[in-house]
């Protein structure tokens, strides 16, 4: 009898050892496949990364959820949104998904829908997760902005109950103010004032207020707001032209930029702004000289990129301006230009803006 118990114990131990070895082997293989995927991402080979992560996920270890999530994010990064959607849907349908991880997978699926343009589906998921899930509610806000529902996005942001300054709410209110101006100037002015109350240091809010003040004929208030915007965020000079162009007195707008240049003469964005202000005055030769100074001082490449776009969209030059405009365009094309790049998702933008069109992040450009 004792021998039988010993034999049974030996068999049980051997079986446990086999199971443990198999589990360790699976985890080792998954770790190796995952590491191979990470290396492929770093080396810029997304196809190899997808293959390696797929191998890791198929091993079915307890860590497979992490691998599937990494794989879904990689699908989304490479633009393979249909595969990302299928993967996350299948994860939600699978019986092995830990209920504690379900909300995380649902958020990933909602982001897949947002990137795919399926905004109603994304809104449905985010609303179901509710305001208690802060990440989901921020996602809902971003989808509503994409859908053009600024009032809804503002309500969603307010529900987050940010203490102190709320830069995102200031951006949303500034955008709503600009949108409302043509149909309801008084409402637009109230929205701009509310944006400044949300964040008194918001360059976007100050520029929106400047645009409205200039359109109302109050050039002094407009220039004051532009100055506050540039004090808060010097790089906002690349976004300040609509506000400066709204100042009724073109000469005072040009003088304002010249005063800023006296303190920051090496800022290429200010020289670009100066060139546009001089061109509005009809001082074409001086404007072209200012634009050339902007190119010469541009070390990052973004002002050069912006100037190429400006020259591309500009009206055809007159006979006396043609040669100088051609020389400026050639100089801009010969210099290294760099598109604004989002610091969150690394997507390039055609021109600088307050919000990344791809991932929805505000103030995402360095």
* CA dist., res. 212 & res. 192, Å (int): 8
Tell me how far CA of residue 60 lies from CA of 52, 164, 293, in angstroms: 14, 46, 61
The pLDDT tens digits of the residues spanning 22-79 come to 554 555 554 444 444 444 443 444 555 445 545 544 444 556 778 788 888 888 888 8
Q: Is the pLDDT of residue 16 over 60?
A: no
Burial of 229 (0-12, 13-18, 19+ CB in 10 A): buried
Confidence band of 311 (pLDDT split at 50, 70, 90): confident
Burial of 302 (0-12, 13-18, 19+ CB in 10 A): buried
Mind listing the domains of the chain with CATH numbers?
24-142 (1.25.40.10), 162-240 (1.25.40.10)
Higher pLDDT, 171 or 364: 171
DSSP state of 348: B
**Residue from 224, 226, 269, 277 nearest 249 by CA:** 277
Confidence band of 279 (pLDDT split at 50, 70, 90): very high
Number of neighbouring beta carbons within 10 Å of residue 36: 17
**Residue from 310, 320, 366, 311 nearest 341 by CA:** 366
> Which two three-digit tokens encode residue 24?
């360790």
Mean pLDDT, residues 320-347: 84
Mean pLDDT, residues 260-280: 94
Minimum mean pLDDT among 65-69, 147-151, 236-240: which range?
65-69
Q: What's the whole-model pTM score? A: 0.79
The pLDDT tens digits of the residues spanning 183-210 come to 999 999 999 999 999 999 999 999 999 9
Q: What is the pLDDT of residue 271?
A: 95
* CA dist., res. 136 & res. 327, Å (int): 51
* CA dist., res. 223 & res. 251, Å (int): 12
> Which two three-digit tokens encode residue 342?
């989002």
Q: Residue 342 in 3-state DSSP? A: strand
Backbone phi, psi, residue 361, to 5°: -70, 140
- What is the percent of the chain where pLDDT is above 70? 83
Q: Looking up tokens 């930029």, which residue turns up?
A: 257
Mean pLDDT, residues 132-140: 92
């Amino acid at each position: 009898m004792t021998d039988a118990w010993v034999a049974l114990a030996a068999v049980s131990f051997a079986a446990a050892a086999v199971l443990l070895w198999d589990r360790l082997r699976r985890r080792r293989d998954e770790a190796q496949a995952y590491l191979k995927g990470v290396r492929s991402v770093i080396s810029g080979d997304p196809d190899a990364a997808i293959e390696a992560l797929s191998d890791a996920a198929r091993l079915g270890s307890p860590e497979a959820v992490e691998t599937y999530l990494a794989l879904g994010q990689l699908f989304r990064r490479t633009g393979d949104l249909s595969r990302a959607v299928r993967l996350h849907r299948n994860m939600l349908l699978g019986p092995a998904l830990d209920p504690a991880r379900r909300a995380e997978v649902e958020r990933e699926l909602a982001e897949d829908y947002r990137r795919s343009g399926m905004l109603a589906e994304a809104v449905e998921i985010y609303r179901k997760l509710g305001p208690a899930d802060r990440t989901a509610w921020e996602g809902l806000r971003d989808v509503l902005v994409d859908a053009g529902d600024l009032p809804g996005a503002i309500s969603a942001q307010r529900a987050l109950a940010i203490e102190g300054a709320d830069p995102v709410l200031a951006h949303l209110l500034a955008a709503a103010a600009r949108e409302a101006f043509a149909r309801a100037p008084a409402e637009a002015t109230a929205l701009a004032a509310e944006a400044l109350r949300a964040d008194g240091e918001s360059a976007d809010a100050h520029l929106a207020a400047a645009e409205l003040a200039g359109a109302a004929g109050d050039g002094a208030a407009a220039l004051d707001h532009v100055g506050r915007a540039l004090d808060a965020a010097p790089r906002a000079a690349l976004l300040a032209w609509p506000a400066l162009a709204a100042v009724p007195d073109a000469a005072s707008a040009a003088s304002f930029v010249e005063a800023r240049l006296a303190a920051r003469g090496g800022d290429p964005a200010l020289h670009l702004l100066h060139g546009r202000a001089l061109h509005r005055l009809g001082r074409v030769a001086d404007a072209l000289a200012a634009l050339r100074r902007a190119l010469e001082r541009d070390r990052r490449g973004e002002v050069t990129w912006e100037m190429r776009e400006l020259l591309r969209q500009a009206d055809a030059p007159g006979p006396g301006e043609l040669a100088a405009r051609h020389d400026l365009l050639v100089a801009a094309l010969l210099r290294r230009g760099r598109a604004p790049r989002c610091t969150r998702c690394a997507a390039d933008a055609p021109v600088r803006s307050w919000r990344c069109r791809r991932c929805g992040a505000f103030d995402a450009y360095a």
